[in-house]
Amino acid sequence: MTSMNPTYEPADVERHWYERWEEAGIFRPEYRPDGEPFAVVIPPPNVTGSLHMGHGLNHTIHDVVIRRKRMQGYAALWLPGTDHAGIATQNVVERELANEGLTRHDLGREAFIEQVWEWKRKYGERITRQIRRMGSSCDWTRERFTMDEGLSVAVREVFVTLYDEGLIYRGNRIINWCPRCGTALSDIEVEHVEENGTLTHIRYPLTDGSGEVVVATTRPETMLGDTGVAVHPDDHRYKDMIGKTVILPLVGREIPIVADEWADPEFGSGAVKVTPAHDPNDFEVGQRHGLEPVLIMDTSAIINENGGRFAGLDRFEARTAIQRALEDEGFLVGIEEHRHSVGHCYRCEAVVEPYLSDQWFVAVTELARPAIEAVRDGANVFIPKRWENTYFHWMENLRDWTISRQIWWGHRIPAWYCPDGHLTIARTDPDVCGTCGRSDITQDEDVLDTWFSSALFPFSTLGWPEQTEDLARYYPNAVLITGFDIIFFWVARMMKMGIHFMGEVPFRQTIIHGLVRDADGEKMSKSKGNTIDPLDVADEYGADPLRLALIQAANPGQDVRLDMEWVSGARRFGNKLWNATRFALRHVEPGSVPADGGYPDDPGAADAWVLQRLGEVSREFDALCDEYRFSDAFGRLYSFAWSEVFDWYLEMAKTTLDQPEGAAATRQTLGVVMRDLLKLFHPAMPYLTEELWQHVVGEGLLAGADWPRVPEVSGPADMDDVQELISGVRRFRADQGISPRQTLDLKVMPSLDPWGADVVARLAGVNLVGVGAAPETGHTRVVTRRLQGFIALEGVVDLEAERARIDKAIAGVESDLAKVEAKLGNAAFVDKAPADVVEKERSKQTEFQGLLDKLRAQLDAL
């Protein structure tokens, strides 16, 4: 065993343990062959990504959960993996190509996909290296990728099964189209933003010359695709116009006025234009009245030949050109400012266009029903529970899920078309049409939404559709740990797919944690420039201090405001733990503490006290961790370690370690207490505690050790009194500027146990004098719960000078207090001054009053 460095250096400590843990197979659930299974899957990060602080928090929580369970004897599995992240990854590779002046079309589909795989091989390990660096104890022998062979088989199986069941279908519908990414998006991939726009009012003249109808629109360019005008059937203003036609300005098309309840008589003129190919509601109106959809844009949002003279213009150029033409030709009624919600692509922020196209959909209503039931029945429980309402609201209002994407990187849709119009859906690529046997079939060009494969993650990663041992053992997973931002993208879909294909919920509990915000509470974002890179923090302060700082703030559902001051505080704690261990190892033979047990049979009073507290705190800690209240759990443990063990017990231990009797029990206690602290802190600070374990225990690895089982010990009843007496004397010394080396006389009544008397005498630096009754004067009092102490002042402080000093101080505070009270007595001030100013004066008043009471008590004691 090497000797310990004098200081805690995270960079040294965090260099080597990870490989040791992996080589020892500790991260594999087989490490505990008889353990009850406890499995969790990682929310698979994008293969193109790098670790951000959100991962930092999510992975710290995962690792704290899984390391503790492993030490408790469970067959703990944290299954890692990455997501192919269709659009995101394709965008990255396309940007690289653009630097060379190329597009994906220049390469062609096959060469482009090969290029993405190449890119994935080159950079895909960056994020997994970063996950390791942070100490996350994933079982890398089970690592998966959403496009690996096994997961691709699972995707095919699910697609074909749902198709056969009628739950996947192809349809011509209005979808959300991103003209930048060139693909359809699902509803939740659209981010709605309130923006300033305009409302353009246009007059449509009746064909018979008997009048006009005025309509209003935020997207006037879509008028090129109008094939009708709708009015409410009960709207008397338009009663005689229903069935007539209008001439569409700029285009000249004759279009009908139809009666439909979609038109809202309260909004604008009560008449609305109908553009079936570019608005989901208009599409439905069009279907009801047989209005033909006319697409007026291509997939890049450029006006096509249906736009007549506006063809070739971008949609936003067309908007102004059309407004101008309407004005020139006398059709413009007016343009007004208008604030409204505009949908943007969640990947590239381009404005999303409602667009009529052929897409694949999952019919979700039938899949959602049992997923709602499962949460209502408690088969899955959300923590915190309030997220269940969000989940229900979402699941009960679902529209069918658009799953096809017009990109190349992803799971290609297993559908083949033959020139005779037959469709073949197959698990393995067919050579011929399944209906007529023609061999000139072509596969659908589209790929599946990335979330289609991640929805299967809890079972596809365990080998499904094969009935593997892993699947039987680790499905359902114990928990799922994630941020609220992907409840809809991921949690809800895993619930639907898991229940449908496995007949059981994918996980028993859903733990929802908050966001990491900056120290001012702002959301971290690249555009604001307030992101903090966890890897930078790990380099500067250590991964362990960052983990401790994050977990100390992590209660379910609460956002974490990350202040670097906490991380440096966590590092100071690491240093304190390091120094406490060094102190212990001056008295305890290094490497001599057993990995388990070894609690003393006959502990001294202070030893019994610390063992009692260790037992109580470790049981409270366990209870809080079981409720995922990590902030509370680690807060409790941290303050026990710091203020009870480091501040009190180590000092008290000094009083017996140099004495012939009691030293053995204290050495033994010191050893097991430090060892159990290392165990309890291991889930949060794995590297540091492992390093210290090697010095204290000296064999095996802490990561594979057993969780502490502290026996119930009864400590002395008067420990609080002893501590309060010592603190009281120390406070008196500090107030009076008396050197710790000057021995004071302390009278205590009724009386202290001999061990307590000894500890007080040594730690407070006093001579204890027995006393029958309280002394009248010449003493200052220290009161504890059951005792009173009297410090003799004679010869310690100059009573006259002290009295004069206190009198002067009292006079000063009294004058300050009078000023504040005068202000607060002034009704004009209290009524008119801002609330926080008045509040400030009130708190000054309380502060001065308290100070005054204290000074007067000091004076009385003299």
Binding to Zn ion (CB under 5 A) within 181-200 occurs at 181
- CA Rg value for the chain: 37
Task: Give the residues across from 404 on adjacent strands.
Answer: 448
Task: Give long-range contacts, CB 8 A cutoff, 24+ apart: 152-155.
Answer: 152/411, 153/465, 154/453, 154/456, 154/459, 154/460, 154/464, 154/465, 155/411, 155/448, 155/452, 155/453, 155/456, 155/460
Q: DSSP letter string over 419-460?
A: TTS-EEE-SS--SS-TTT--S--EE-S-EE-HHHHHTTHHHH
Q: Binders of Zn ion among 348-367, rule CB under 5 A?
A: 348, 350
User: What number of chain residues touch Zn ion (CB under 5 A)?
Assistant: 14
Cβ distance to Zn ion smaller for residue 7 or 442: 442
What are residue 340's DSSP bridge partners?
Answer: 195
Residue placing its CB nearer to Zn ion in the complex, 418 or 487: 418
Site string for Zn ion, 383-422 (x = CB under 5 A): -----------------------------------x-x-x
- The secondary structure of residue 209, as a DSSP letter, is S
Min dist CB 408 to Zn ion, Å, is 15
Q: What's the closest the beta carbon of residue 436 comes to Zn ion, in angstroms?
A: 3
User: Taking the complex as a whole, how short is the minimal distance between the CB of residue 298 and Zn ion, in angstroms?
Assistant: 16
H/E element holding 512?
Answer: strand 507-513
Say which DSSP state 523 is in: B
Pick between residue 420 and residue 626 the one whose CB is nearest to Zn ion.
Answer: 420
In the region spanning residues 505 to 544, those forming contacts with Zn ion, defined by CB under 5 A, are: none
Does residue 175 belong to the site contacting Zn ion (CB under 5 A)? no
- Of 178 and 250, nearer to Zn ion (C-beta) is 178
**For Zn ion, the closer CB: 436 or 857:** 436
Helix axis angle for 53-71 and 534-541, nearest 10°, is: 60
Minimum CB separation of residue 48 from Zn ion in Å reads 15
Among 230, 258, 433, 548, binds Zn ion (CB under 5 A): 433
Residue 345 vs 697, nearer CB to Zn ion: 345
Please state the closest distance from residue 192 (CB atom) to Zn ion, in A. Answer: 15
Q: At what angle do helices 534-541 and 564-587 cross, to 10 degrees?
A: 40
Residues 321-350 that bind Zn ion (CB under 5 A): 345, 347-348, 350
> Which one, 302 or 738, has the nearer CB to Zn ion?
302
- The CB-of-577 to Zn ion minimum distance in angstroms stands at 49
The first and second tokens of residue 291, run together, are 């209005």
CB burial string 132-155: b at 16+ within 10 A, e below: bbbbbbbbbebebbbbbebbbbbb
Q: What's the min distance (Å) between Cβ of 44 and Zn ion?
A: 21
Q: Which residues contact 166 (CB under 8 A, 6 or more apart)?
A: 363
The nearer residue to Zn ion, 347 or 636, going by C-beta atoms, is 347
- Minimal distance, residue 420 CB to Zn ion, in Å: 4
Q: 299 or 304, CB closer to Zn ion?
A: 299
Q: Which stretch binds Zn ion (CB under 5 A): 191-199, 431-439, 708-716, 826-834?
A: 431-439
Q: Judged by CB, which is closer to Zn ion: 424, or 694?
A: 424
Q: What single letter denotes the amino acid at residue 71?
A: M
Residues 559-618 that bind Zn ion (CB under 5 A): none
Please give the structure tokens belonging to residue 401: 């899920």
Minimum distance of Zn ion from residue 301's CB (angstroms): 11
Nearer to Zn ion, 437 or 594 (CB): 437
Please report, to the nearest 10 degrees, the dihedral formed by the alpha carbons of residues 117, 123, 127, 129 taken in order.
120
Beta-carbon contacts of residue 460 (< 8 Å; ≥ 6 apart): 144, 150, 151, 154, 155, 453
Which one, 19 or 298, has the nearer CB to Zn ion? 298
For residue 349, the minimal CB distance to Zn ion (Å) is 7
Distances 291 to 226, 242, 261, 620, 660 between C-alpha atoms, Å: 9, 15, 16, 68, 101
**Distance in Å, CB of 679 to Zn ion, minimum:** 49
Q: Which is nearer to Zn ion, 27 or 408 (CB)?
A: 408
Strand ranges, E, within 574-720: none
Q: Give the range of 32-40, 170-178, 784-792, 846-854 binding Zn ion by CB under 5 A.
A: 170-178
x-or-dash string of contact with Zn ion, 1-40, rule CB under 5 A:
----------------------------------------
- Amino acid residing at 457: F
Q: Which of 763, 756, 709 minimizes the C-alpha distance to 740?
A: 763
Closest by CA position to 78, among listed 26, 142, 139: 139
Q: Give me the least distance between CB of 185 and Zn ion, in Å please.
A: 7
Pick from 304, 412, 396: nearest CA to 360: 412
Q: Annotate 556-569 with three-state secondary structure.
A: CCCCEECCHHHHHH
Q: Which region, judged by CB under 5 A, interacts with Zn ion, from 268-276, 429-437, 443-451, 732-740?
A: 429-437
DSSP conformation letters of 733-782 = HHHHT--TTS-EEEEEES---HHHHHHHHHHHTEEEEE-SS---SSEEEE
Q: Which two tokens stand for residue 309?
A: 């003279």
Query: 355 or 541: whose CB is closer to Zn ion?
Result: 355
Nearer to Zn ion, 354 or 590 (CB): 354
Which of 51, 66, 178, 375: binder of Zn ion (CB under 5 A)? 178
Shortest distance in whole angstroms from residue 92 CB to Zn ion? 13
Residue 478: HSE in the Cβ half-sphere, 13 Å Cα cutoff = 16
From 98, 193, 436, 811, residue interacting with Zn ion (rule: CB under 5 A): 436
Closest CA to 349 of 530, 192, 553, 125: 192
Least distance to Zn ion from the beta carbon of 418, Å?
Answer: 3
Q: Which stretch binds Zn ion (CB under 5 A): 436-444, 540-548, 724-732, 804-812?
A: 436-444
Q: Which of 287, 365, 435, 826 binds Zn ion (CB under 5 A)?
A: 435
Residue 432 beta carbon to Zn ion: minimum distance, rounded to whole angstroms? 8
Could you tell me which residues come within 8 angstroms of residue 361 by beta carbon, excluding any fewer than 6 positions away?
A: 168, 169, 170, 171, 173, 400, 401, 402, 403
Where does this chain touch Zn ion (CB under 5 A) — which range of 430-438, 534-542, 625-633, 781-789?
430-438
Interface ranges with Zn ion (CB under 5 A): 178, 180-181, 345, 347-348, 350, 418, 420, 422, 433, 435-436, 438
